[in-house]
Amino acid sequence: MQYSGVSASTLLVDERDPRSAAALSINDPYVLVIDDDEDIVNVIMLLLEIEAYFGIGLSDSLKVLDLLEQLDVDHLPSVILLDLMMPGLSGYDIAMILSQNERLQHIPIIIMTADSRVQGASSIQGAIDYIAKPFNLEPLLVKLRFYLDPHPLTEL
């Protein structure tokens, strides 16, 4: 991991020990960013920090499920930003596994991919939104804001 601006609002998980993120007590909504390209994770984490959002970045897909299983139900991510084409465990597999896990299936998954065969979230089991790579930051932010910012109708 190369992102050096890690602050109280963002965390890059130590790939050797994903339990470091499980010890977090983030009470605010946050994004779990999963991409094998560390540069992409770094850019997204920096974007989250600039926008005053919380985030956890992970580039080893084999560590994702362990991390999520260790998190207390009150500290699960508000949204997962998931790359589809990764070595080890693909984003396709992660999305499918999460969609079948009763404890985790409620977490919205935004897929991001350079796979031109994927035309939208509906083609990926468990995904609710989609962004094509390479992506512009503003459309990504719009999608993330929807899941991270409180919705006026839910505060009645």
Instruction: For 63-109, give the DSSP string.
Output: GHHHHHHHS-GGGS-SEEEEES--SSS-HHHHHHHHHT-TTTTTS-E
Report the domain count for the chain.
1
Residue span of the structural domain in which 40 resides = 25-148
Question: Degrees (nearest 5) of the Cα angle 139, 24, 70?
Answer: 95
Q: Pairing relation of β-strands 79-83 and 30-34?
A: parallel
Count, residues in the chain: 156
Question: Degrees (nearest 5) of the Cα angle 128, 114, 105?
Answer: 25
**Structural domain contains residue 153:** no
Side chain identity at 13, as an amino acid letter?
A: V
Enter the tokens of residue 118: 């994927």
Token pair 């997962």: residue: 80
State the Cα–Cα distance between residues 12 and 20, nearest whole angstrom: 9
| Predicted TM-score of the model (pTM) | 0.82
pLDDT tens string 104-142 = 999 999 999 887 788 778 778 889 999 988 888 999 999
**Structural domain contains residue 108:** yes
**Structural domain contains residue 154:** no
**Structural domain contains residue 156:** no
What is the per-residue pLDDT for 25? Answer: 52
> What's 82's domain CATH number?
3.40.50.2300
**Structural domain contains residue 1:** no
State the Cα–Cα distance between residues 82 and 109, nearest whole angstrom: 7
Side chain identity at 95, as an amino acid letter?
A: A
Question: Taking residues 53-73, what's their average pLDDT?
Answer: 93
pLDDT tens string 10-54 = 555 544 444 445 445 557 889 999 999 999 999 999 999 999 999
**Structural domain contains residue 90:** yes
